[in-house]
Amino acid sequence: MTDQAYNFAYLDEQTKRMIRRAILKALAIPGYQVPFASREMPMPYGWGTGGVQVTAACLTPEDRLKVIDQGSDDTTNAVSIRKFFQRTAGVAITEKTAEATLIQTRHRIPETALTQGQILVYQVPIPEPLRFIEPRETETRKMHELEEYGLMHVKLYEDIARHGQIATSYAYPVRVEGRYVMDPSPIPKFDNPKLGGNAAIQLFGAGREQRIYALPPYTDVVSLDFDDHPFTATKADHGCNICGSIHSYLDEVITDDQGGRIFVCSDTDFCAERQQGTAA
């Protein structure tokens, strides 16, 4: 009964309009962080309140929704958010990447290539890529405004000086269309090459920080690096123990307390489809 007391997709229409306006502006200026009046959501910050609000603003009753957390469809975060939208929007649900029209994700881009018409919504904890090296928000905004991005390379320099290589392995900074430096949310840098030239619309929502940014389809995205230390997309040097894929991003899973471990695809849908394919 109470489920019917909510507006479609929980947020009221005025709020959705406000968020859509921010999304349109973000799409018009790829990589630019658009402020928006983030609402209190019935879940704690850190659970993806930004992503949830962007998803709510984009959902239509005809949409088919997929929610993943670290590539997986069945982790707590994904299950909670999926249930939330099932109850408040009543939209169709799928676990198949190819069938979904809207995918909300945390920390991964699906292995299956996205297609035109799909929307990928990222949950973003900290949208400001310069934050950890320049804590003043006024200063980082000025840096974005004036394209002063030398500081981002200081971070990479520190990595090489300390570890002999660029050790940043997630939330790896990118330059969008030769203009804005953007934090791609904590996706592994293995996924960075998929950001650029992607056919889908990519939206990034940061609820606590009240920022939305976006990559329109087929945007030019370059991962920052040094001439003598070029960017490399890394993954565990193994094949998946279940489906055998050597091209997908892997999770290391501890199986016992004797040091036993296996590597499995972090994208559960990708892995399951490969198993069915080999079984059939």
Partner 1 sequence: MNAFSKPDTPLFRVENLTKSYGPRIGCADVSFDLYPGEVLGIVGESGSGKSTLLSCLAGHLTPDRGQITYDGRNTLSMAEAERRKLARTDWAFVHQNPRDGLRMGVSAGGNVGERLMAVGARHYGDIRAQALDWLGRVEIAGDRIDDRPRAFSGGMQQRLQIARNLVTGPRLVFMDEPTGGLDVSVQARLLDLLRGLVRDLGLSVIIVTHDLAVVRLLAHRLMVMKGGFVVEQGLTDQVLDDPQHGYTQLLVSSVLQV
Nearer to partner 1, 99 or 137 (CB): 137
| Rounded Cα distance, 92 and 223, in Å | 35
Q: Which of 31, 51, 71, 205 is catalytic?
A: 31
Is 58 catalytic? The answer is: no
Exactly one of 2, 14, 138, 146 binds partner 1 (CB under 8 A); that residue is 146
Exactly one of 74, 157, 244, 253 binds partner 1 (CB under 8 A); that residue is 157
Residue 126 found at the interface with partner 1 (CB under 8 A): no
Residue 6 found at the interface with partner 1 (CB under 8 A): no
- Total residues binding partner 1 (CB under 8 A): 16
Q: Which of 46, 90, 265, 277 is catalytic?
A: 265
Residue 222 found at the interface with partner 1 (CB under 8 A): no
Residue 151 found at the interface with partner 1 (CB under 8 A): yes
Exactly one of 28, 133, 246, 253 binds partner 1 (CB under 8 A); that residue is 133
Residue 153 found at the interface with partner 1 (CB under 8 A): yes
If one counts every other C-beta atom within 10 angstroms of the C-beta of residue 93, the result is 16
Residue 162 found at the interface with partner 1 (CB under 8 A): yes
Residue 226 found at the interface with partner 1 (CB under 8 A): yes
The 3-state secondary structure of the chain, one letter per residue: CHHHHCECCECCHHHHHHHHHHHHHHHHCCCCCEECCCCCCCCCCCCCHHHHHHHHHHCCCCCEEEEEECCECCCHHHHHHHHHHHHHCCCEECCCCCCCCEEEEECCCCCCCCCCCCEEEEECCCCCCCCCCCCCHHHHHHHHHCCCCHHHHHHHHHHHHHHCCCCCCECCCEEECCCEEECCCCCEHHHHHHHCCCCCEEEEEECCCCEEEEECCCCCEEECCECCECCCCCCCCCCCCCCCCCCCCEEEEECCCCCCEEEEECCHHHHHHHHHHHHC
Exactly one of 160, 222, 242, 262 binds partner 1 (CB under 8 A); that residue is 160
| Rounded Cα distance, 141 and 189, in Å | 25
Is 31 catalytic? The answer is: yes
Exactly one of 5, 161, 279, 280 binds partner 1 (CB under 8 A); that residue is 161
Exactly one of 3, 227, 237, 257 binds partner 1 (CB under 8 A); that residue is 227
Which region, judged by CB under 8 A, interacts with partner 1, from 24-32, 156-164, 180-188, 250-258?
A: 156-164
Is 271 catalytic? The answer is: yes
Residue 40 found at the interface with partner 1 (CB under 8 A): no
| Rounded Cα distance, 37 and 19, in Å | 8
Could you give the residue numbers annotated as active site? 31, 240, 243, 265, 271
Q: Which residues are near partner 1 by CB under 8 A?
A: 133, 146, 148, 150-151, 153-154, 157-158, 160-162, 226-229
